[in-house]
């Protein structure tokens, strides 16, 4: 279509109802342009097509000339904008969409600047459509993107157009909420402030948000996302278009799963059993003694077992495994529990929701297998723990979004009476109080690294926010522990450098050749600053 060709060449034609992931309905009429095309019945002479054409629905052809700024095209744009704004409340100062609203942008670029409408506007009520979505009906321009999304992508058809003419509005069927696993994508595709996110409502003006390209850190999908944040706090996650992975969408569980990053119970200081971490006034001292104690325990160990969580990055796994192997060449390496919920589910639009709820089980295994031919999965590890009295010291990593420690695990640990446990984790669990040393880890949003998704695609991502309080990435902790052991100055973790080392030293060349890097140029910094008065 002409519009898509123009967009592919970074030429803007205003559009509301067109979305590349949905069927074309050409109902908003803002994209109309004057098209001249060669006429085969007149020696292919260039002739104007009498009516303006919707560029979203008209095929691009050889030799065409498209005018989007001719007097006719401009007159149409002004007329469409005027009609769309007739009943619009123009409540931008209190609208969450302000700053990223196509109605605002196009009113500025293509509108007339003043309203000629003096009659009473039709008012529509705000509606609660489902667990995540609110509808401000009088801001809606009836582009029907949201309706088509529920019909074509999810196949759930919760949304419909109700009524006719000036009083028509988007609605749900009585008693049926907009509650499917992809429901919040309608908020992103709504070009105006009609569909808003309950979770983000009035939380932050969008021009203060910085966005960092990242990867889903909660499930095995490897969905490409933007983490949007300000002053060290995450405010929302949104899909980042990648036609090879998630196209334009993400699931609601990925979109809202980041809350544990700011959980008030996060582990934030290292602790040694029997010592009060708060007695030390400074975090570096707490780290110093936690590192010394860890090295002391591992040096004294007869046989060490390591559990590397599938929530960690490949770089974390590599540096931790390398560190522990210095202590025990026969170390038992295993992967932490990989949660699964239900079955994979593919929606009619082709998007798949994966049952596996860990971002990097494959990547961790890929790395660990370079160190040991016999990497255990979690069940096998529990079996080994129950039967093998030889394991006397464990290094365990967690970093799950919720409590992950099962009774089985605690029981299996208890089989060896004096087993020492060193834990690197983010949230307190039943294990935290049973450990000799606890070191606080950083969530995926607080570090750089690489995940391998369910389709074996290696994707690197950037750090969105600094680690909370005194937390550190597991990779940095491993480097610090190495330095504490050798007495050298600790290296500062660098993801790219680590991947090069992985390739050079351990023949993991895919971490240099096959990693999909985040789009550097697209890290958008806000050009405004909040000034406290």
142 binds ligand SF4 (CB under 6 A): yes
Distance CA 174, CA 161 (A): 13
**Does the footprint of ligand SF4 cover residue 317 (CB under 6 A)?**
no
Task: Provide DSSP, 454-494.
Answer: TT--EEEE---SPPSTT-B-HHHHHHHHHHHHHTSPPPPP-
Give me the 193-222 binding string for ligand SF4, x by CB under 6 A, dash otherwise: -xx---------------------------
* Widest CA span in the chain: 94
Question: Nearer to ligand SF4 by C-beta: 143 or 477?
Answer: 143
When the beta carbons of 29 and 485 are compared against ligand FES, the nearer one is 29
CB of 33 to ligand FES, least distance (A): 10
Compute the distance between CA of residue 472 and CA of residue 118 in angstroms, rounded to an integer: 60
Do 340 and 357 contact (CB within 8 A), yes or no?
yes
The entry of ligand SF4, ligand FES, none near residue 148 (CB within 5 to 8 angstroms by kind) is: none
Structural contact between residues 196 and 145, judged by C-beta atoms closer than 8 angstroms: no
Nearest to 340 by CA among 378, 394, 292, 291: 378
Residue 103 as a binder of ligand SF4 (CB under 6 A): the answer is no
Residues binding ligand SF4: number (CB under 6 A): 12
In three state form, how does the secondary structure of 484-527 look?
HHHCCCCCCCCHHHHHHHHHHHHCCCHHHHCCECCCHHHCECCC
Taking CA atoms, 92 is separated from 80, 282, 466, 472, 530, in Å, by: 19, 47, 32, 41, 19
Residue 83 C-beta: closest distance to ligand FES, Å: 13
H helices present in 265-313, as ranges? 283-300
User: Out of 2, 17, 317, 465, which residue is the one contacting ligand FES (CB under 6 A)?
Assistant: 17
26 binds ligand SF4 (CB under 6 A): no
Residue 382 touching ligand SF4 (CB under 6 A):
no
178 interacts with, out of ligand SF4, ligand FES, none, CB within 5 to 8 A per kind: none
Pure H helices in 301-348: 314-327
Nearer Cβ to ligand SF4, position 146 or 475? 146
User: Burial, 141: exposed, middle or buried (Cβ in 10 Å; 0-12, 13-18, 19+)?
Assistant: buried
Site for ligand FES in 34-73 (CB under 6 A): 54, 56
Q: Which of 30, 95, 190, 305 binds ligand SF4 (CB under 6 A)?
A: 190
* Whether the Cβ atoms of residue 180 and residue 255 lie closer than 8 Å to each other: no
Q: Which does 73 bind (CB under 5 to 8 A by kind): ligand SF4, ligand FES, none?
A: none
Choose between 162 and 455: whose C-beta lies nearer to ligand SF4.
162
Does residue 143 interact with ligand SF4 by CB under 6 A? yes
User: Measured from the CB atom, is 83 or 430 closer to ligand SF4?
Assistant: 83
Give the interface size with ligand FES as a residue count (CB under 6 A). 12
31 binds ligand FES (CB under 6 A): yes
According to DSSP, the β-strands at 332-335 and 304-308 are parallel
Q: Which of 31, 133, 192, 385 binds ligand SF4 (CB under 6 A)?
A: 192
195, interface contact from ligand FES, ligand SF4, none, CB < 5-8 Å by kind: ligand SF4
Least CB distance to ligand SF4 at residue 241 (A): 18
Q: Closer to ligand SF4 at the Cβ: 195 or 272?
A: 195
Euclidean distance between CA atoms 306 and 245, whole angstroms: 32
Q: Are 158 and 179 in contact (CB under 8 A)?
A: yes
Is residue 215 a contact partner of residue 225, using CB atoms and an 8 Å limit?
yes
For binding to ligand SF4 (CB under 6 A), which residues are involved?
A: 140-146, 170, 190, 192, 194-195
For binding to ligand FES (CB under 6 A), which residues are involved?
A: 15-18, 26-31, 54, 56
């Amino acid at each position: 279509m002409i519009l898509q060709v123009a967009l592919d060449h970074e030429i803007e034609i205003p559009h509301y109802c067109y979305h590349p992931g949905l069927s074309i309905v050409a109902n908003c009429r803002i994209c109309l342009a004057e098209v001249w095309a060669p006429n085969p019945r007149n020696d292919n002479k260039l002739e104007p097509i009498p009516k303006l054409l919707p560029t979203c629905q008209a095929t691009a052809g050889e030799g065409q000339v498209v005018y989007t700024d001719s007097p006719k095209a401009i007159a149409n744009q002004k007329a469409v904008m005027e009609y769309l704004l007739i009943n619009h409340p123009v409540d931008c100062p209190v609208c969450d969409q302000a700053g990223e609203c196509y109605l605002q942008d196009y009113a500025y670029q293509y509108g007339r600047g003043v309203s000629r409408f003096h009659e009473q506007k039709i008012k529509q009520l705000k509606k609660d459509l489902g667990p995540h979505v609110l509808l401000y009906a009088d801001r809606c321009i009836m582009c029907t993107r949201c309706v088509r999304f529920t019909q074509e992508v999810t196949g759930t058809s919760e949304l419909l157009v109700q009524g006719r003419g000036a009083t028509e509005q988007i609605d749900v069927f009585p008693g049926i909420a907009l509650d499917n696993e992809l429901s919040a994508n309608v908020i992103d595709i709504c070009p105006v402030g009609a569909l808003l996110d309950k979770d983000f409502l009035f939380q932050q003006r969008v021009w203060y948000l910085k966005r960092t390209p990242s990867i889903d850190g909660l499930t095995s999908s490897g969905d490409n996302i933007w983490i949007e944040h300000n002053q060290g706090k995450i405010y929302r996650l949104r899909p980042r278009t990648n036609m090879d992975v998630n196209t334009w969408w993400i699931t609601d569980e990925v979109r809202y799963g980041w809350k544990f990053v700011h959980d008030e119970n996060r582990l934030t200081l290292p602790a040694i059993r029997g010592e009060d971490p708060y007695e030390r006034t400074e975090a570096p001292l707490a780290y110093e003694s936690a590192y010394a104690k860890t090295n002391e325990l591992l040096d004294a160990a007869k046989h060490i077992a390591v559990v590397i969580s599938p929530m960690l990055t490949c770089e974390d796994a590599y540096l931790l495994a390398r560190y522990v192997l210095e202590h025990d060449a026969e170390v038992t390496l295993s992967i932490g529990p990989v949660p699964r919920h239900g079955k994979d589910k593919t929606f009619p639009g082709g998007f798949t929701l994966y049952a596996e709820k860990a971002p990097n089980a494959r990547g961790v295994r890929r790395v660990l297998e370079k160190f040991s031919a016999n990497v255990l999965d979690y069940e096998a590890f529990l079996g080994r723990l129950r039967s093998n009295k030889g394991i006397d010291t464990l290094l365990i990593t967690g970093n799950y979004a919720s409590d992950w420690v099962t009774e089985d695990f605690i029981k299996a640990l208890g089989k060896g009476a004096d087993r020492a446990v060193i834990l690197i984790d983010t949230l307190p669990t039943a294990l935290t109080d049973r450990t000799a040393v606890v070191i606080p880890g950083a969530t995926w949003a607080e570090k750089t690294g690489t995940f391998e998704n369910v389709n074996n695609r290696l994707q690197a991502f950037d750090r969105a926010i600094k680690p909370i309080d005194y937390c550190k990435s597991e990779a940095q902790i491993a480097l610090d522990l190495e330095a504490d052991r050798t007495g050298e100055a600790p290296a500062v973790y660098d993801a790219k450098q680590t991947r090069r080392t992985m390739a050079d030293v351990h023949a993991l060349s895919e971490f240099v050749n096959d990693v999909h890097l985040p789009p550097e140029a697209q890290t958008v910094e806000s050009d405004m600053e909040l000034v406290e008065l």
